[in-house]
Amino acid sequence: MSIKVGVIGVGYLGQYHAEKYMALSGAELVGVMDINPKRAETIAKRCKCEAFPKLESLLDKVEAVSIVVPTHVHFTVAKTCLETGKHVLLEKPMTTSLEEADTLIDLAHKNNLIFQIGHLERFNPAVIALFPYLDNPLFIESHRLGLSLERGTDVDVILDLMIHDLDIVLAAVPAELVEIRAVGVPVVSKNIDIANVRLEFSNGCVANLTASRISTKKMRKIRFFQKDAYFSLDYAQRELVIVKKESKDLLPFSHEVLRFEKNDPLKEEIANFIQCIKEKKSPVISGEHGRYVLAIALKINQCIQKIR
């Protein structure tokens, strides 16, 4: 049985959602909808589905949707979809406020619907391979740098890019976040384009995160340090370096490099969404976890605003 799906918003990222659904055996891409009708028609033609002029007309035909619209309308669109009984895959960041996030989570529970948040890096094979090795990491350092002003500038770099690494860090550290220190600067847009954040947890772990969308050098890396082990992960190269102490002596250390074929994280994310609908199970990134990550991202933003 195929799940009938639609994509709401087929801009830079939404077009890829439509393409993945079109190619997925467990889904039937019924149609797309966009505020720009010509754009919707172009993507519909490419993906061999229908372009719907209004949200309501699309929702009448589908069981589930991907919502890939600008962040400031995430809540309005997702609320309508959940109220009409549609399963939702909502791109990150899930909303602009925690109150909005709570409303959506409550609606999903009330209507017994799958509500998944699009934190893409969780489906990176190197990230999946990393988590079983982690055992109370005490220092984490991440750098997500690049030139990415063609999209996402309706929000700051924390909600646009750093939120990926926040998701990984918050999932990896089994302790309460107790302190946030942050600095950020708007360079070419009206929002913060580069930021550095220091997170301190109740177990003593410290995480230092840097994100920039105005850097000519591209980097997407994160490193974890824990007792007797060190892990370096390159998101883009799908590579995980594992260095472990093998005895009580200073030496030797083992050194292993795991390289993974370049899979399609978006395809895996969408496949997980469809599987969760069919099997009625919780998604990898639930609405509750998406809210947790959003809460920290908003606190980081508040810290930066205080010192500007």
pLDDT of residue 152: 53
- Residue-wise pLDDT tens for the chain (308 aa)? 899 999 999 999 999 999 999 999 999 999 999 999 999 999 999 999 999 999 999 999 999 999 999 999 999 999 999 999 999 999 999 999 999 999 999 999 999 999 999 999 999 999 999 999 999 999 999 999 988 765 556 789 999 999 999 999 999 999 999 999 999 999 988 889 999 999 999 999 999 999 999 988 899 999 999 999 999 999 999 999 999 987 666 666 788 999 998 889 999 999 999 999 999 999 999 999 999 999 999 999 999 987 76
Q: Flag whether the pTM goes above 0.85.
A: yes
Give the domain 122-263+296-307 fold.
Answer: Dihydrodipicolinate Reductase; domain 2 (3.30.360)
pLDDT of residue 1: 81
pLDDT of residue 22: 97
Residues near 234 by Cβ (< 8 Å), separated by ≥ 6? 126, 220, 221, 240
Interatomic CA distance for residues 41 and 36, integer angstroms: 9
Q: Where are the domains of the chain?
A: 3-120+266-284, 122-263+296-307
Strands lying side by side in the sheet with 214-226: 177-185, 194-201, 206-212, 139-147, 214-226, 229-234, 239-245, 253-259
CA 267, 270, 271, 276: dihedral to nearest 10 degrees?
160
pLDDT of residue 55: 96
Give the domain 3-120+266-284 fold.
Answer: Rossmann fold (3.40.50)
pLDDT of residue 101: 98
Bridge partners (DSSP) listed for residue 17: none
CA 272, 142, 180, 174: dihedral to nearest 10 degrees?
50
Cα atoms in the 13 Å half-sphere on the side-chain side of 188: 9
pLDDT of residue 149: 62
